[in-house]
Amino acid sequence: MLMLALSSLKAQQTAHVVLDSINSSYDEHSPMLSPDGQRLYFTRAGHPANIGGVLDQGDIWYAQKSGDGWSRPVHAGPELNHPGLNGIVGFSADGQRLYLLNFFDKTARAGSKLKNGIAVAKKSGNSWGEPELLPIKYFSNSSAHISATISRDESVLIMSIISYNTEGNEDLYYSLKGANGEWSQPKGLGENINTYAEEWTPYLGSDNKTLYFTSNGHEGFGSRDIFVTEKQGNSWESWSEPKNLGDAINTKGVEQGYAIPFSGTIAYFSSTQNSEGFGDLFGFPIDKEEPVIIDAPVVDEPEPQPQTDILIDTLEVPVPDVDMIFVIKDQRTLEDVDGEVTFEYNGITKKASPSDYETLVDNRMLQMSFAPGTELTVSIKAEGFLNFERKFTAKRGTSRLQELLLVAEEVGTKVEIENVLFRRASAEFSDVETAQKQIDELIGLMNANPGMAIRLEGHTDNRGDAKLLRDLSEARVKTVRDYMISKGISGSRIEFVGYGGEKPLNSGNSAAAREINRRVEFVIIK
């Protein structure tokens, strides 16, 4: 005889205001109202009209205010959207500047044109100008997820990323804008907020001290709940114990992206509970900036039952697999590449040929399912390209889409090694773990192609004495070379040279231009 003892939460009296004209069977999340209250922006994933089609991680859409409701949403267009994850971070108070997730570098000569980070676009008439990447010192994010908020005075960024000293999964980090326009190195908000689990979608109130965020690492009602905390004193690393916003908002589903508008009586967020598809947008009525906080969650204790000799079986809930989608492209052109792909995991070797690819909208892909935590190695052989090999771990909470970029098997091919950053005026890595992780991918490429030889090229910006800059850039690429040699790559396969500021990618003198010019590249010489 099977008996299940269930503990249930008290019936939830949610105050969700449904936005019927906006929600769909696709995934809507991360709402943000424009300062004038007339346009509601949000991210929609999985829609065929997105820049990257149905495999796109999400594009920005918006709905226009119409009487007491909202118009049908429209795609925000290529001005604000690129093939990666798109979302609104926030606005300037006058509505003339718009902050965005990630940056698409159309001028990049090699490697992925999509840069992880925060960008800003300026209004030009009735449209938005070309976004520019914010120069955030030593910015690094090893997660497919990124979300962020910017203060009303545009001086503080709070971001959800995996970076320096991350406690587990995504943590919240802050960065402060300097007088020169550059942003400080991101630092964690502290252990009162950051947990071993995931902290997402921060929103900083107009008082610059009240912070809302979503987490599955604090006590809540379900999968992910929205919490509120308050900055203690002047430190951005000292916060009060987070409080759950209560069952008027939070459910057993996923609530995220809570945002309070510049004016008005409705806050906005997304929830997977009672939605049309994945996530839907909802409003929450407020009569002041801070909603009433409800202690979370109260559990009804089951009535005591007399003991019997009944055998109680354990019901094991199956854990669903993690779906992973692999898209294979030419690193130079981002066009699809046919190749033989080998998956190795748990002692199993599985090969996939071009006939196994699926075509969905304009994307050709391979889809595989793995148990959570599975470690796998993906190897690719394609005519005209270097052999490719990379390790993955099947995890929830990260992007299921993996874009694998193949390097052409041609002498002269040049590739930037991203996120290899150094301390100021030093040849020491600013973040050793992140830099080594990036260089390990190059080491894997050379191990998979034993006849390959490269030249490492170091570049700085052009501020300072030209000879000293050349010496510094050479010392930096030597640091990269020394690490590669320590991992078994023969020094005879690695030449190196430092150019200082002699070969800039961007001739501008802004902080963003200087950031683009500071880089380490490798060139295939054999």
Q: Are 461 and 370 part of one and the same domain?
A: no
pLDDT of 50 above 60: yes
Structural domain contains residue 481: yes
pLDDT of 317 above 50: no
At 442, phi and psi to the nearest 5? Answer: -65, -40
Write the pLDDT tens digit of every residue in 400-431.
567 788 888 888 888 888 778 888 788 888 88
Give the per-residue pLDDT at 210. 95
User: Of 46-50, 242-246, 514-518, which range is least confident?
Assistant: 514-518
Domain boundary among 406, 430, 457: 406
β-strand partners of 393: 375
Domain boundary among 406, 427, 453: 406
Domain boundary among 406, 439, 459: 406
Structural domain contains residue 299: no
Q: Are 249 and 363 part of one and the same domain?
A: no
Q: Is the pLDDT higher at 508 or at 376?
A: 376
Give the per-residue pLDDT at 108. 59
Give me the domain span that covers residue 123.
17-285
Q: How is residue 361 written in tokens?
A: 């909208």
Neighbours of 46 (CB within 10 A): 19
E strands of 134-273, at which residues? 147-150, 156-161, 171-176, 187-188, 199-204, 210-215, 225-230, 243-244, 255-259, 266-271
Contact present, 72 and 123 (Cβ < 8 Å): no
State the CATH number of the domain containing residue 509.
Answer: 3.30.1330.60
Can you tell me whether residue 72 is helix, strand or coil? coil
Q: How is residue 32 written in tokens?
A: 């943000």
pTM for the full model? 0.64
Write the pLDDT tens digit of every residue in 131-164.
999 999 888 887 888 999 999 999 999 999 988 7
State the total domains in the chain.
Answer: 3
